[in-house]
Amino acid sequence: QVHLQESGPGLAEPSETLSLTCTVSGASVSSDRYYWAWIRQAPGKGLEWIGSVHSRGGPKYNPSLKSRVIMSQRASSNQFSLKLTSVTAADTAVYYCARAGLTAVGGLPPHYYYAVDVWGQGTTVTVSS
């Protein structure tokens, strides 16, 4: 059974850098079968993709956040992480780490074939002074 767990501070001050880590069990972040994503949800709002990482190729970021996002993965600890710089109150949200790893297409299709099949429980981040 695959399990994802977010960790990081629940409070960030405006203009600071938010750092979150996702620890994965039951699957390897090094597998070329999966993409690992961060998705957030502001209070009362819908889901917003932040970015994804993969064992091969560079990270992919939401164009609207790209200038402020850095994602990486650490095979040795089976984790992947998110850094979001210059945060504002608009970044207050529940942050989910997730795996995009399900498709009916065989082989290793492009990332845009994959559904998000495993979600972490989410961690609430509030940006406030």
Site residues (CB under 8 A) for another protein? 37, 39, 46-49, 52, 60, 62-63, 96, 100, 102-105, 110-113, 115-117, 119-122
**Shortest Cβ distance from residue 96 to another protein (Å)?**
6
The residue (of 112 and 129) whose beta carbon lies closer to another protein is: 112
**Shortest Cβ distance from residue 123 to another protein (Å)?**
11
**Shortest Cβ distance from residue 31 to another protein (Å)?**
18
**Shortest Cβ distance from residue 38 to another protein (Å)?**
10
CB atoms within 10 A of CB 15: 11
Q: Which residues pair with 118 in a beta bridge?
A: 99
The residue (of 31 and 62) whose beta carbon lies closer to another protein is: 62
Assign 29 to helix, strand or coil: coil
Euclidean distance between CA atoms 11 and 95, whole angstroms? 12
Tokens representing 108 are 């290793």
Euclidean distance between CA atoms 87 and 93, whole angstroms? 11
The residue (of 120 and 127) whose beta carbon lies closer to another protein is: 120
CB atoms within 10 A of CB 6: 22
